[in-house]
Amino acid sequence: MLLRTLHRLGRRGAAGSLALAIAAVAGDGSAKAQDFWAGKQLSLIIGTDAGTGYDVYGRLVGRHITKHVPGKPVLVPQNLTGAGSKRAAEHMAVVAPKDGTVIAIVFPGAIAEPLAIERSKWRYDPAKFEFLGTADSGTRLCSTRLESKVKTFEQARQEVATIGASAPGGSTFDYPTMLNALAGTKFKVVAGYKATVDIAIAVDRGEVDGWCGVEISTYMSVRPEWLTKRAANNMIQLGMEPSPEMTAMGIPTVWQFVPPENRKALELIVSQQVFQRPFIAPPGTPPDRVKQLQDAFMATMKDPEFLAEADRIKVTVGPRSGPEVAALVASMYAAPQAIIDQMAKAIRP
């Protein structure tokens, strides 16, 4: 294409001809992108139940991202639940077409858990996904209802509190489990709840004392009064860095309760919060389409209409790019084996 264009422009100056030829090739690439996406359906797999924080983020991004994808395909969301988003991750790796017409949002645990569990068990390699980016990075909290005997994190290290959870691989299961191992808590983890909203209802009913490993954005979507009106005992914040807002509310950071010998393993688990709402494409998706989807994702994160809707439905936006997320995942999988083994034992005692 470049040579043919240069031939057509042969009588013009060499420098001008080259510039025009490169522009023509670039324009041709843009046209090809338009040709690929135009009239197509872009499927969005949401690796959790409807009504959860991840479902809210998935559908929110889905309502805006196609404005920024060449050809403006029609987006169709689909919930694919099971095994803490690992069923959705396996679908992306094994079943989904690798042409850029399927993307997904999954739990970060679906990316991090195979690091700690026998990797041959899984039908996917998290480090091989194409990461479009994350819609948020942030802090998680653990809380109990006001009536619970266990009101502080220090008390949780002395007395048993029942904590509602989804399934292994989800933060509501993995976080209280790892806090038992690495920070000395005595949480009794009750698994089997389908979504965070179901755990919140169980807390309201007194079936369990509280929940743990839940993002601030989920609080604001599901039980905002637990924070804004302090209608719960907010015991601890978990993040690589303390949240100024949560610190101002008097919520201590987990690091003051973790002995030095356990800190690296806990950091390995908590680092997944940097990609708290990860969007992925299947491994093997053509690089040019990955780039188009990454660019569309980051353009969405700056879209005024997207940001206005996010503010209206009270979800936080703290994006990181696809290459940033990919680099962090690669560094996690390159951690020393001794730290990985300690992490594995912490989340699966």
pLDDT in tens, 150-173: 999 999 999 999 999 998 878 999
Is 22's pLDDT higher than 80? no
Residue 65 corresponds to which tokens in the numbers above?
């991202």
Residue 343 corresponds to which tokens in the numbers above?
């992490």
Contact (CB, 8 A) for 134 and 301: no
Is 7's pLDDT higher than 70? no
Pairing verdict, β 278-281 and 102-105: antiparallel
The confidence score (pLDDT) of residue 84 equals 84
Tell me the residue length of the chain: 349
Tell which wins on pLDDT, 135 or 18. 135
What is the topology classification, in CATH, of domain 38-137+276-347? Answer: D-Maltodextrin-Binding Protein; domain 2 (3.40.190)
Tell which wins on pLDDT, 11 or 103. 103
pLDDT in tens, 253-262: 999 999 999 9
> Which phi and psi angles does 261 have, rounded to 5°?
-70, -15
* Average pLDDT of the segment spanning 22-51: 75
Do the domains 140-272 and 38-137+276-347 match in fold?
Answer: yes
Of 210, 203, 159, 167, nearest to 185 (Cα)?
Answer: 159
The confidence score (pLDDT) of residue 119 equals 64
Is 25's pLDDT higher than 60? no
Q: Provide DSSP, 29-56.
A: HHHHHHHHHTT-EEEEEESS-TTSHHHH
The confidence score (pLDDT) of residue 21 equals 43
Cα–Cα distance, 94 to 54 (Å, whole number): 22
Pairing verdict, β 74-79 and 41-46: parallel
* Average pLDDT of the segment spanning 279-293: 97
The confidence score (pLDDT) of residue 113 equals 83
Is 6's pLDDT higher than 50? no
Least trusted range by pLDDT, from 17-26, 89-98, 321-330: 17-26
| Distance, CA of 63 to chain centre | 18
Q: Tell me the chain's radius of gyration from C-alpha atoms.
A: 23
> Which phi and psi angles does 102 have, rounded to 5°?
-135, 130
DSSP character for 253? Answer: B
The confidence score (pLDDT) of residue 284 equals 97
The confidence score (pLDDT) of residue 3 equals 33
Give me the percent of the chain exceeding a pLDDT of 90: 77
CATH code assigned to 140-272: 3.40.190.10
pLDDT in tens, 118-132: 666 778 999 999 999
Residue 280: strand pairing partners = 104, 131
**Residue labelled with tokens 């479009």:** 132
The confidence score (pLDDT) of residue 339 equals 94
The confidence score (pLDDT) of residue 133 equals 98
pLDDT in tens, 183-206: 999 999 999 998 899 999 999 999
pLDDT range class, residue 247, cuts 50, 70, 90: very high
Hey, where are the domains in the chain? 2-36, 38-137+276-347, 140-272
Mean per-residue pLDDT of the chain: 89
